[in-house]
Structure 1
């Protein structure tokens, strides 16, 4: 628990909440650090089978803290959490530190569901993209807002958005910074579904996922994350290799027995 993010793990579902309520969960230095460290901790916790990412208060995440933009205007180099170290330097595998605040959720070995309400602007919108699934309130205000500040989206959003949204719509939203609704996000491909109660719906879905064979769930996420970098032959081989590891394993046998015996499965988190 910190003053930026709180995590509770109940029955394999990690309930991750941004708790900077007074600032609409805006991204400051402490929030960036908390996002990165939280993904690192979750990645090493085998008891976690699914994650729900949400924001407390009036917003999911309002984007970069306004204080950072003030530092930019003053020329003091405070515009990024790296204090103007070159952003091209890779500090977390394929990503730099600001990117890892989003990419870390994408790279987690378990599914992540974002419950989005209020506003998800700029960096906050990109944060939602780090999730596998996004449940969004229809009235949520969303924007690829970086152009408002004379910038490009640089928190890993472009690597994910290109696979979700039609190219011309993505360009228009990025060029203009236009605010759009959660209902629009569903039409554009950014939202998986809309709900009047996104957090409750996300938790419901997470509990369903957490009740499945965790080995198969993790393998499924690995498959989908790797697909953009694989050709057809490599994709076919990948699913075969992973299936070979799962067939006949303890958890796969438990899934079969539970189904045949019409009972809830009891999986081993290993």
Structure 2
């Protein structure tokens, strides 16, 4: 059945786009399935990495299904489609587990924006990247002009969003958007995930928070998460909680 599927492979989770009839374009149902999948991944400490894949051999994802949003009223489109999709994609970008996207084919519009939520990307030689929204009278809505600027830089994003140019796998790799070019990006992505699974999950999680805070990816939450992590093992925290429970004034040791 088409949609978005969460599949477990031991310590690795796979989030698979499966709408090949429309080149894996996002439907409302697929978008709504992302959040519960992320929640399930976060809840399971046995999962050490996430690989994002696509079922179709031609495209990773052609973007958002135009039939899903073209009939919406302007306010509905802005609030219930663009803002909602942005929140969902931010949820993927903010996962504590490392994520690898396997771009087996073209990634356009929302599909490219979805690939951008991953920590690293592996891309097939024939794949291209594009932000074609101007051709149908809209603009990138799921971080194409925000997160993509940080990953690809202003000139390349302008080439795609303003001039409608497709970026080749080679240019994506040269720009640092793709970590590797591979004839079998899914296999390579799983190999990377396996290697990550052997490393300290705590170290990887904290390093990801630090890097995201540095580049402005969910900075406020990342900084506060790191601060909470520092306070967790302190005697001050233990004393504060104990004093609250015992209904007395705390005597903080400062360690």
Name stretches of at least 5 consecutive residues in structure 1 with no aligned partner: 247-270
Following superposition, the deviation at residue 37 of structure 1 comes to 2.5
By how many angstroms is 1:127 displaced?
0.6
Distance (whole Å) between structure 1 residues aligned to residue 175 and residue 164 of structure 2? 15
Alpha-carbon distance, 1:162 to partner:
1.9
What is the rounded CA distance, in whole Å, between the counterparts of 2:194 and 2:216 in structure 1?
Answer: 30
| Residues 213-264 of structure 1: per-residue CA shift (max 9 Å, x gap) | 111111111111111349xxxx99x989968979xxxxxxxxxxxxxxxxxx
1:5-44 paired onto structure 2 within 5 Å: 5-44=4-43
The reply on whether 1:167 has 2:154 as its aligned counterpart is yes
Determine the structure 2 residue equivalent to 1:214: 201
Native 8 Å contact 1:119 1:140 kept in 2: yes
Q: Which residue of 2 aligns with 1:77?
A: 72
Q: Which moved more, 1:32-41 or 1:131-140?
A: 32-41
SS at match of 1:120: strand
| Structure 2 unpaired stretches of 5+ | 234-255
Distance 1:229 1:56, change over 3 A: closer
TM-score, with normalisation over the residues of structure 2?
Answer: 0.78
C-alpha RMSD over aligned residues: 3.0
1:262 corresponds to which residue?
Answer: none
What's the CA shift for 1:36? 2.6
Name 1:187's counterpart in structure 2: 174
Structure 1 match to 2:51:
52
Distance 2:232 2:188 in 1: 32
Counterpart check, 1:99 vs 2:86: yes
Cα distance in 1 for partners of 2:200, 2:232 equals 13
Give me the whole-angstrom Cα distance separating, in 2, the residues matched to 1:78 and 1:183: 39
Partner in structure 2 of residue 267 of structure 1: none
CA contact (8 A) 1:219 1:242 kept: no
Larger radius of gyration: 2
Q: CA deviation at 1:203?
A: 0.1
In structure 2, the partner of 1:263 is none
Alignment of 1:110-259 (within 5 A): 110-229=97-216
In structure 2, do the counterparts of structure 1 residues 61 and 229 end up closer, same or farther at CA, with 3 Å as the change threshold? closer
What's 2:62 paired with?
62
Contact 1:102–1:129, Cα closer than 8 Å, also in 2: no
Distance in structure 2 (CA, Å) of the matches to 1:3 and 1:78: 27
2:105/2:123 contact within 8 Å kept: no
